[in-house]
Amino acid sequence: MTTLPVIRLRPKTKPQAIRHGFPWVFADEVVTDRRTRAIKPGSFAVLEDPERKPMALVTVNPESKIIGRVMDANPDAQIDGNWLRARLSRALAMRERLYDAPFYRLVHAEADGLPGLIVDRFGDAAVMQPNAAWADGMAGDIAEALRDVTGVSTVILNGQGRTRGLEGLDERMEVIAGTAPDAPVKVPMNGAVYMADLMGGQKTGLFYDQRPNHAFAQRLASGRVLDVFSHVGGFGLAMLAAGADHATLIDGSDAALALARDGASEMGVDGRLETIQQDAFAALEALGAEGRQFDVVICDPPAFAPSKPALEAGLRAYERVAKLAAPLVAPGGYLGLCSCSHAADLTSFRSASARGIGRGGRRGQLIHTGQAGPDHPTLPQLAETGYLKALFFRLDG
């Protein structure tokens, strides 16, 4: 049996947080001697407390600020195919209880006990994002386990994005198992149909996290709706499916809007859809100058505050979105504002949104606060797993 390396918490570091479920060990919390710095990124090690008592099995990356990620509370655990299949089986069992079709986030990283690993399922295909060194190194094993547990035939590795850079990982995109779909995948959700480009779309091809917020927006759907930062039509198509008369989608990506139009065609509502390919801020300003108004306006921008250093500028951007969007809401209509920024907590985002609405000359009631769906579980000890916020306001005249 191979003896694993050891990393140890510094003498003044309290181990209680990790014992109570916090999954990360930061570089300034451990003794980083020559042996620790020599550990190959993605290797496994035993984490010891300051008294040299084993605490957990971790994966180590000396090149990352998060030097250790807890893999298993049992220091003697063996991370192999059987271990992966057990974790994936547990994740799958919950999703199968929650959803009647195989379209969901199957693995939500730390919250599912698979640190740094994202897996979204699209029927017979799965798209994985290995954002930690261990997962990148074991991508083949993960793909094999995914096929064994779920029965999918295709596994795609999407190794793109900011998080991989923080881990010192290169970008890559490849088919690990099976054959890539030769056309976008049709994804049924909330009565709408979305088209997911698994090889060329953003992230894994579709954002499942907004599913419950799409459903809430459907309860408000009537008349004319505006979906800003629409991607492939998330909110707009959902509200068309619920009976809205007309939807206008705004996004900077023509490819994403083309997928939205294809989805609308599949639903038979393409005659009620308008798409505008333009910078969202410029489009909001132009619509305001024209005096356009809608019964429902939804703004779901990218993460303006992906890290703490970007928080102040990010909150100003969210405030600006609210300021520009509020005048576009007809009296008595509804405004939905969303944030997927890890660094912006709910209170800060809500305050920025309220300020923006006020600066836009409107007042209103906050009627609903939403979050990601249950296929994106939150690890209570790790705030970053609960990143998505959705605020719905009813605006006065």
pLDDT in tens, 372-393: 999 999 999 988 888 999 999 9
| Same domain (yes/no): 253, 317 | yes
Q: pLDDT-derived band of residue 249, with 50, 70 and 90 as boundaries? A: very high
Q: pLDDT-derived band of residue 204, with 50, 70 and 90 as boundaries? A: confident
340 among known catalytic residues: yes
Summarised one tens digit per residue, pLDDT across range 65-78 is 999 999 999 999 99
Average pLDDT, the chain: 95
| Same domain (yes/no): 155, 275 | no
Identity of the amino acid at 255 = A
What angle do helix axes 254-267 and 234-241 make, rounded to 10 degrees?
Answer: 10
Across 15-170, the runs of DSSP E, i.e. the strands, are 24-26, 43-48, 54-60, 66-72, 103-108, 117-122, 125-130, 154-159
Summarised one tens digit per residue, pLDDT across range 292-305 is 999 999 999 999 99
| Same domain (yes/no): 55, 130 | no
| Same domain (yes/no): 263, 335 | yes
Domain that holds residue 158: 81-177
From CA 339, how far away is CA 318, in angstroms rounded? 8
Catalytic one of 340, 343, 379, 390 = 340
Contact 339, 394 (CB under 8 A): no
| Same domain (yes/no): 149, 205 | no
Residue 2 has pLDDT above 70, yes or no: no
Residue 1 counted as domain residue:
no
| Same domain (yes/no): 278, 363 | yes
Query: 151 vs 112, 128, 164, 184, 198, CA distance in Å?
Result: 19, 15, 28, 20, 18
**Residue 251 has which token pair?**
């996004």
Contact 23, 29 (CB under 8 A): no
| Same domain (yes/no): 205, 317 | yes
Position 200 scores a pLDDT of 86
* CATH code of the domain containing 301: 3.40.50.150
* Backbone phi and psi for residue 274, each to the nearest 5 degrees, phi listed first: -125, 135
Residue 64 counted as domain residue:
yes
| Same domain (yes/no): 243, 361 | yes
* CATH code of the domain containing 162: 3.30.750.80
Last residue of a domain, one of 155, 177, 199: 177
| Same domain (yes/no): 61, 20 | yes
Last residue of a domain, one of 156, 177, 198: 177
Residue 151 has pLDDT above 70, yes or no: yes
Q: pLDDT-derived band of residue 201, with 50, 70 and 90 as boundaries? A: confident
Residue 47 counted as domain residue:
yes
Residue 12 counted as domain residue:
yes
pTM score, two decimals?
0.94
Residue 367 counted as domain residue:
yes
Residue 164 has pLDDT above 80, yes or no: yes
Residue 330 counted as domain residue:
yes
Last residue of a domain, one of 159, 177, 195: 177
| Same domain (yes/no): 36, 56 | yes
Summarised one tens digit per residue, pLDDT across range 76-92 is 999 999 999 999 999 99
Residue 247 counted as domain residue:
yes
| Same domain (yes/no): 257, 312 | yes
Position 1 scores a pLDDT of 47
Summarised one tens digit per residue, pLDDT across range 117-141 is 999 999 999 999 999 999 999 999 9
Residue 54 counted as domain residue:
yes
Residue-level length of the chain: 397
Position 165 scores a pLDDT of 86
Query: What integer is the mean pLDDT of 243-260?
Result: 97
| Same domain (yes/no): 231, 316 | yes
> What is the H or E stretch that residue 285 is in?
helix 280-290
Number of domain units in the chain: 3
